[in-house]
Chain A
Amino acid sequence: MNKILTFQPDITFNKEDFVKINNKDFSENECFEDNSKIPKFSHALHILFKNKAAAVSICIILIIALFAFLGPLISKYTYFEQLRGFENLSPSFFHPFGTDGLGRDIMVRAMYATRISILIGVVSSVIVLVIGTIYGAVSGYFAGAVDNVMMRVADLVYSIPDVIVVILLSIVLKQPLYELFNNSQSAFLKNFALLGPGVIAIFAAFALLYWVTNARIIRGHVLVLREQDYITAAKALGCGRARIIRKHIIPNCTSQMIVTTCLMIPSAIFLESFLSFLGLGVSAPMTSLGSMINEAMDGMYSYTYRLIIPCVILCVLILCLNVLGDKLRDAFDYGQKATINEK
């Protein structure tokens, strides 16, 4: 060996350092040194409820939901019952919102309309949530070429003019759905028939078009998650891809899923009311907030209050859902920042 290399081992190393600590005497004193850390999820909810605007909107949403879901049980009228001789009544004790031109109690109709609007909002958001989450998780997890193709497809879908396509779908679906519902024996489909083809078109549109935003958000988060060591650990354990996505990736996207769903509900309600207003949404005799506004347009000069009631419910509902979604996002963002800072 050449003489040029010189080395003086000079590491002061004491074997005792490593051995002297007994294997057993640690577990109590190192326990829960940071027990005060609240879990991220409830931490976010804690922040949320401390916010006045968020708390108020939650209360109002609950009141509207009670009005919509419990109200019809208490009232003695139904949304389709026409009271002969009681047409066009002004608000009174028996009919707090009056009756319409066919003698139907407007308050009960408003309850049903709100219920339908909320249901449509929630169901569409769930559809979007399921499709968007699966698409985003798969795209983000596989990354590379798969991700590239899937995201280009998402870009394409994103630039399709949504409202136009929804309108088109609702026209096209009208006839076949009508036949399908009326010819079928199943009670489930009959119930759907009450809602009308417009609603199905809305669901279809959400399933086809609106998942993109959700998928993008989830994908962005998954791209971060997939680099985490616990995913590598799962791979090292021999978990399959499907299992990793199902058991590790999707549960860790919960906060993103909640926020996007919360922000999707008002836009679904918005779209439904728009279509119903154009007469393409919920079909008579079933009603929704949008179709109530549409019906009230005919007599809007003499019976203005009929127009105002659904408008106010609609706007308050959307406002509260918007505020709640925003605050929820802030709360989760804050929670995330807080955990990063702690590290």
Chain B
Amino acid sequence: MAIYIVKRIFQAIIIILFVTCITFVLMNLIPGGPFLSEKVPNAEVIKNLELKYGLDKPVIVQLKNYLTDLSHGDMGVSYKIQKNRKVTDIISETFPISLRVGMIALIWSTLAGISLGCVSAYYKGSRTDRIVNFLTSLGTAVPSFVFATVLLIVFCVKIKLFPSIGLYSVGSYILPCFALGFFPMCYITRLERASMADELSKDYIKTAKAKGLEENKIIFKHALKNAIIPVLSYLGPLAAGILTGGIAVESIFNIPGLGKYFILSITSRDYPLIMGTTIFFAAFIVAMTLIIDIVCAIIDPRINFAEGSKKAA
């Protein structure tokens, strides 16, 4: 068990380092550099700017400097969007907003997905099941940004129920969180329905029924415990999906989260900010996946630690 966790953490660190290096090298491969499109095409000015940000040194040295800075929690300063402000400051200011929206979406979609999936599996073949099945297949075909725009038009423009811009009241959280969590909710419902139906048809459930256990107890104590494992292992990719989906949803609802800054930094070529956000996003996603994998490993006794993830795959 301990070996497994150490191995996974080691792997996670490698991935983050790898992504960092790739990001850095890729950003440096872009011809022209960040100041070429500035309005002052003065060679002198650019040279001074490059000197100031240490861009005149070879890439390897820059990478080394960047990595040492990164290990001290320093990601450099923004070149453009908020000039000379520290990237870490921008992230620490905007990320909590994204995190809040993301967490709400994650929690509601998981809870709703699991309960809907259970209901649907329990009443398999009934009208409820068929309706849920149909709606969720529809839902898994709608990208979150499409759903967000539809929500925006219907509820903010046509009905004017919620404010459409920014995050100033509790009401303004509803739409973005709903839009962000809808696709995962449908996916989790389908996942849970399949695994729950599979679980309910197994022999040990029949035995439990034959023993005379209460229906509730059977479902919640026995079946759900096993049927929830596929959903748990999906939480890692789900967290990543919500985070990246958030990039689009934040631009649509004009939420000043990290996703919006990511897009802004891309369109204005603010390289340190792009790099900072990319690495931060990547690290966050990898960390989430790591935590969820470890939780799954603790919960699911079937994963063989000696063999690593071999058996599970």
Contacts and interface: CB of A to CB of B under 8 A. Distances in A.
A and B touch in the complex (CB under 8 A): yes
Interface string B268-307: 0100001000100110011001000000000000000000
Interface in B1-36: 11-12, 14-15, 18-19, 22-23, 26-27, 29-32
Give the interface residue-count category, chain B. Answer: 35 or more
Interface stretch (B71-79, B149-157, B213-221): B149-157
Interface in B227-280: 240, 244, 247-248, 251-252, 262-263, 266-267, 269, 274, 278
A323 B137 contact: yes
Q: Chain B contact residues: over half helix, strand or loop, or mixed?
A: helix
A315 interface: yes
A297 B149 contact: yes
Contact of B281 (A161, A311, A316): A161
Contacts of A314: 143, 146
Contacts, number: 112
Nearest to B152: A300
B178 interface: no
Interface stretch (A87-95, A119-127, A225-233, A272-280): A272-280
Interface stretch (A43-51, A101-109, A163-171, A187-195): A163-171
Interface residues of A, number: 42
B160 to A, nearest CB: 12
B19 A165 contact: yes
B140 interface: yes
Contacts of A279: 267
Given A160-B19, A172-B29, A319-B141, A278 B11 contact: no
B313 interface: yes
A117 to B, nearest CB: 12
Contact of B153 (A161, A304, A318): A304
A107 to B, nearest CB: 20
Given A160-B18, A176-B31, A216-B313, A311 B149 contact: yes
Given A155-B11, A161-B281, A311-B150, A322 B141 contact: yes
B11 A156 contact: yes
B173 interface: no
Contacts of A304: 153
Contacts of B26: 168-169, 172
B216 to A, nearest CB: 32
A300 to B, nearest CB: 6
A159 B15 contact: yes
Contacts of A315: 138, 141-143, 146
A244 to B, nearest CB: 24
Contact of B247 (A155, A220, A278): A278
Interface string A49-62: 00000000000000
Given A160-B18, A176-B30, A274-B143, 7 more contacts: A159-B15, A171-B30, A171-B269, A277-B145, A278-B247, A297-B149, A314-B143
Interface of A: 151, 155-156, 159-165, 167-169, 171-172, 175-176, 179, 216, 220, 266, 270, 273-274, 277-280, 293, 297, 300-301, 304, 307, 311, 314-316, 318-319, 322-323
**6 closest A-B pairs by CB:** A319-B141, A163-B244, A318-B141, A161-B285, A172-B26, A161-B282
17 contacts: A156-B11, A156-B15, A164-B244, A168-B26, A168-B278, A175-B30, A175-B31, A175-B32, A176-B31, A277-B248, A278-B263, A315-B146, A316-B141, A318-B143, A319-B140, A322-B137, A322-B141
